[in-house]
Chains A and B, each alone.
Chain A
Amino acid sequence: MNIEIRNGRVIDPKNSVDRSSSLYVAEGRVAGLGEVPEGFVVDQTIDAAGCIVCPGLIDLGARLNSIEAELAAAVAGGVTSLVVPPDADPPLDEPELADRLVHRGAEIGKARVLPLGALTLGLNGERLSELAGLKKAGCVAFSQANRAVVDTEALLRAMEYATTFGFAIWLQPQDHWLSRNGIAHEGEVSSRLGLAGIPVAAETIAIATIVQLVRDTGCRVHLTRISSAAGIALIQRAHHDGLPITCDIGVHHLLLTENDIGYFDPHARFSPPLRAQNDRLALSDAAATGVAAICSDHTPVGADDKLLPFGEAKAGATGLEVLLPLTLKWAEAEHVDLPTALARITSAPAEVLGLAGGHLAPGAAADICVFDPQAHWQLTPESLQSRGKNSPWLGYMMTGKVKATLVGGRLVYSA
């Protein structure tokens, strides 16, 4: 199908494109920008007047509890590829499970599913999974989700093994012992509200350990969901030393702090926890300067598991449909220009993944998001396609609404 996306503001951060133009799609790929390609006969026109046309968003963390609803939610949020952590039930530690997931995703035909394989069997942090087999079945990298690997020797061996094959390992840096009893950032709010705290040291000790092991093995590591200023500082040092370490930040951590717990709002329970204002500012700076990519950390949680006392509620919030408006909100508040902000959720994630996508040069796969940056909508349970209605933003107005999403040149969402 030949598609013309007309009169939008085309922003392609990777290729430094930002202009009013029309975009042309043929045979599932970007055919041209600006001028109608030779021999191009338009089958379908999408009117992008007043809209931004950008690469489809690549979300580095989205849990798919009920895969159909969540993949529909993804494209409703402009997300065309998403990385799935391996901590579903059962954990993704067998090639067959990865195979099934990838196939199911392809069947549904909406957002592209990029599974992370479980680094260890059952995510127990002891025995390695069949990494090569999982890779063959479609896993893009290997991860322990948000569980710590307590046994440092096991982690060292896993990194050595992964390096052998050139595989990347994704780890959430959180020391097991310092975080196992905590439910909130150890700081003013936790002291006042009597909530067991997780100190920043839980993150920095884990990062330091991982960085040292990367120095020794050369393993490619991606650190997920950084939450502290001190953590960012360690990562910047690692970058300075040329280590193959990347990182991402959950979009909620760019906007919220421990103060948003308010009167014990369980919607403000996250893992890692929302930290202090100075942490948030450092995270924001890291995202603005390209030290970190931004992701949604989409975690759908049912009311029965969320509407509980703070310490009992499951951590996490719905993310796929708010990744875009929250990124725009952050960009406006912190005076980050639009192309830079969009880069963090398109080309930067693509780079982390080592994928060819995340941009709109001719020949690229036509994964495209068309959105109205001025459209206001209210976040209510009904407004979400995701089964996860859990959000600290419920009832708030969002700015930025997806009008159309294409994956591989097919229109998979239209508002």
Chain B
Amino acid sequence: MHNPQLNKDGELTHLLSIEGLPQRILTQILDTAASFMEVSARDVKKVPLLRGKSVFNLFFENSTRTRTTFEIAAKRLSADVINLDINKSSASKGETLLDTIDNLCAMHANLFVVRHASSGAPYLIAEHLRNIGRDDVHVVNAGDGRHAHPTQGLLDMYTIRHYKKNFSQLRVAIVGDILHSRVARSDIHALTTLGVPEVRAIGPETLLPKHLDKLGVHVFHDMNEGLKDVDVVIMLRLQNERMTGALLPSAGEYFRHYGLTPQKLALAKPDAIVMHPGPMNRGVEIHSAVADGGQAVILPQVTFGIAVRMAVMSIVAGN
């Protein structure tokens, strides 16, 4: 099966998922992002790379945060940005997803940033663009269902590389609702592709997908065990709106066992960093003392996120 993210020259033309991307492409994105960090530190935070190009933010699932960072990133590349909040009811009033894409292509869209509640939706779009011969239009996945959030995975890797330099000696723990988390899946693929020797998943049985070991992950249900000597702790948000059924008795019980408190953090290495994709539920998955403490790098993650998204958009738009 051809890799839908790569063009026939093996270059990145869509970013749909970290899975299936060779290490050289992940590294290229991180290296390019470093240059864009410099751009974002200037007074004039713009480069003309995407001047005259139109970036359409297609958000079928609401997210002001993510959409804003993509908008900032696109504007810093001098692109024209159009935001489309398509909630489900208006889409169901007639136009199918692919009809929407056809219409927007007719409006000369160059790049779609897509967030959708259904896993796999960006693949459908990329496949459709291939079928209609539009290899000049690119898709960047801003989060599809539970499947992937590749730009978040990449900015998490950028963050780790920034503070820890070398991936090859690290222990990284991901804590929380991995079952429902596209961020977790993208992080896991990125970490294993970049050669992190030990990736740990910590959570209750109900919040961990079966077969995690097949993805190269060590599973822990005891957070005290799982955090021992880790270099990086990635805390996931407890996804209230995604949970169906009786998965957890209460936020309180969750916090007691899986919340990151200063005492639990002390089990990790003294220079361990604490990450979180945001937004945080203080007192549910993370104690305020940790969120506001010296080991947390949550705000830098946001800054890195803009540079990473600039890198991704520049790379795909040029291929």
The interface residues of chain A lying within 8 Å CB-to-CB of B145 are 194-195, 309, 311
Contact partner of B1 among A186, A262, A309, CB < 8 A?
A262
User: Given the complex of chains A and B, what is the CA–CA distance between A193 and B212 in angstroms?
Assistant: 12
| Chain B positions 143-188 with a Cβ under 8 Å from a chain A Cβ | 144-148, 182, 185
- Nearest to B147 among chain A residues (CB) is A194
A contact residues around B244 at 8 Å (CB): 181
Task: Give the Cβ gap from B276 to chain A, nearest Cβ, in Å.
Answer: 20
Asked if B19 is at the interface (CB within 8 A of a chain A CB), the reply is yes
Cα distance A194–B1 in the bound complex, in angstroms: 20
Contact across chains for B185 and A186 when beta carbons are under 8 A apart? no
Give the chain A neighbours of B144 by CB distance below 8 A. 194, 309
CA distance A306 to B96 in the complex (A): 11
Check if A307 is an interface residue, CB within 8 A of chain B.
yes
Give the CA-CA distance A186 to B244 in the complex, in Å.
Answer: 16
Query: How far is it, in angstroms, between the C-alpha of A304 and the C-alpha of B146 when the chains are bound?
Result: 24
CB of A414 within 8 Å of the partner chain: no
Query: For the complex, is A266 an interface residue (Cβ under 8 Å from B)?
Result: yes
B214: interface (CB < 8 Å): yes
Which residues of B are found within 8 Å of A380, using beta-carbon distances?
none
Question: B211 on the interface (CB 8 Å rule)?
Answer: yes
Verify if B68 is at the interface (C-beta below 8 Å from A): no
Given the complex of chains A and B, what is the CA–CA distance between A308 and B95 in angstroms? Answer: 12
Q: Which segment, of B77-85, B118-126, B249-257, B283-291, faces chain A? A: B118-126
With A191-B212, A194-B147, A263-B127 known as contacts, the answer to whether A307 contacts B96 (CB < 8 A) is yes
Known: A188-B211, A194-B148, A304-B96. A310 touches B245 (CB 8 A): no
Q: Which residues of B contact A191 (CB under 8 A)?
A: 209-212, 214-215
Tell me whether A187 and B211 are in contact in the complex, defined as CB-CB below 8 angstroms, given that A181-B244, A309-B97, A311-B119 are known contacts.
yes
Assess the B96–A193 pair: CB atoms within 8 A. no
Q: Is A334 an interface residue when CB atoms closer than 8 A count as contact?
A: no
Cβ of A161 under 8 Å from chain B: no
Which chain A residue shows the least CB distance to B186? Answer: A194
Give the number of residues in B that approach A within 8 Å (Cβ atoms): 30
B299 within 8 A of A: no
Which of B119, B127, B144, B146 gathers the greatest number of chain A CB atoms within 10 Å?
Answer: B119
Q: Does A312 touch B at the CB level, under 8 Å?
A: yes
Mask: chain A, 60-100; 1 = CB below 8 Å from B; 0 = not: 00000000000000000000000000000000000000000
B83 CB to nearest A CB, Å? 21
Asked if A240 is at the interface (CB within 8 A of a chain B CB), the reply is no
- Which of chain A's residues 159-201 have a Cβ closer than 8 Å to chain B? 181, 186-188, 190-197
Q: Report the interface size for chain A: residues with CB under 8 A from the other chain.
A: 23
Q: Is the CB of B124 within 8 A of A307?
A: yes
List A contacts of B128 (CB < 8 A).
307
Chain B residues lying within 8 Å of A195, measured Cβ to Cβ, are 119-120, 145-147
A264 within 8 Å of B (CB atoms): yes
Chain A residues positioned under 8 Å from B121 (CB to CB): 309
CB distance from B243 to the nearest CB of A (A): 11
Contacts of B124 in A (CB 8 A): 264, 266, 307-309
Contact B119 A194 (CB under 8 A): yes
Task: Let me know if B211 and A263 touch, CB within 8 A.
Answer: no
CA distance A193 to B16 in the complex (A): 12
B277 interfacial by beta-carbon distance below 8 Å: no
Q: Is B67 located at the chain interface by the 8 A CB criterion?
A: no
- Chain A residues contacting B185 (CB-CB under 8 Å) are 192, 194
Encoded as 1 (CB less than 8 Å from any B CB) or 0, chain A from 289 to 307 comes to 0000000000000001001
Tell me which of A186, A307, A309, A312 contacts B210 (CB under 8 A).
A186
CA gap between A197 and B208 in the complex, in Å: 13
Scan residues 25-50 of chain B and give those whose CB is less than 8 A from a CB of chain A: none
Tell me whether B211 and A312 are in contact (CB under 8 A). no
Q: Which residue in chain B gives the minimum CB-CB distance to A261?
A: B120
Tell which of B19, B97, B146 has the most Cβ of chain A within 10 Å: B146
Minimal beta-carbon separation of A181 from chain B (angstroms): 5
Q: Is the CB of B214 within 8 A of A263?
A: no
Quote the shortest CB–CB distance from B229 to chain A (angstroms): 27
Considering only residues 274-318 of chain B, those with a C-beta below 8 Å from chain A are none
A131-162 near B? 1/0 per residue, CB < 8 Å: 00000000000000000000000000000000
Please state if A193 and B245 are interface contacts (CB–CB under 8 Å).
no
Would A309 and B120 be within 8 Å (CB), given that A191-B209, A194-B185, A195-B146 are in contact? yes
B103 CB to closest chain A CB (Å) equals 15
> Across the interface, which residues of A come within 8 angstroms of B148, CB to CB?
194
Counting chain B CB atoms within 10 Å of each CB, the highest count among A193, A194, A196 belongs to: A194
Contacts of A192 in B (CB 8 A): 19, 185, 211, 214-215
**Most chain A CB inside 10 Å of its own CB: which residue of B97, B124, B127, B214:** B124
- Pair B98/A264 contact, Cβ less than 8 Å: no
Residues B96 and A263 in contact, CB atoms below 8 Å apart? no
Q: Most chain-B CB neighbours within 10 Å: which of A188, A263, A308? A: A263
B178 → chain A closest CB, angstroms: 10
- Per-residue CB contact flags for chain B residues 64-89 toward chain A (1 = under 8 Å, else 0) read 00000000000000000000000000
Tell me which residues across on chain A come within 8 A of B146, comparing CB atoms.
Answer: 194-196
List residues of chain B with CB within 8 A of the CB of A188: 211, 214
Q: Is B116 an interface residue (CB 8 A)?
A: yes
CA distance A197 to B97 in the complex (A): 24
Given known contacts A191-B212, A263-B4, is B245 in contact with A181 (CB within 8 Å)?
yes
| B119: contacting residue among A264, A304, A307, CB under 8 A | A264
User: Which residues between 176 and 214 of chain B lie within 8 Å of chain A, taking CB atoms?
Assistant: 182, 185, 209-212, 214
Chain B residue at smallest Cβ distance from A181: B244
Do residues A310 and B119 form an inter-chain contact, with CB atoms below 8 A? yes
- Interface residue ranges of B105-145 to A (CB < 8 Å): 116, 118-121, 123-124, 127-128, 144-145
Show 20 residue pairs from A and B whose CB-CB distance is below 8 angstroms, ordered by the A residue.
A186-B210, A188-B214, A194-B146, A194-B147, A194-B148, A194-B185, A195-B145, A195-B146, A263-B1, A263-B4, A263-B120, A263-B127, A264-B119, A307-B98, A308-B96, A309-B118, A310-B118, A311-B119, A311-B120, A311-B145
Which residues of B are at the interface with A, using a C-beta cutoff of 8 A? Answer: 1, 4, 19, 96-98, 116, 118-121, 123-124, 127-128, 144-148, 182, 185, 209-212, 214-215, 244-245
Chain A: residues with CB nearer than 8 A to chain B? 181, 186-188, 190-197, 262-264, 266, 304, 307-312
The list of the 5 closest CB pairs from A to B, nearest first, reads A264-B120, A194-B146, A309-B118, A194-B147, A191-B209
Given contacts A193-B120, A193-B147, A264-B123, 7 further A-B contacts (CB under 8 A): A187-B210, A192-B211, A263-B120, A263-B127, A264-B147, A308-B97, A312-B118
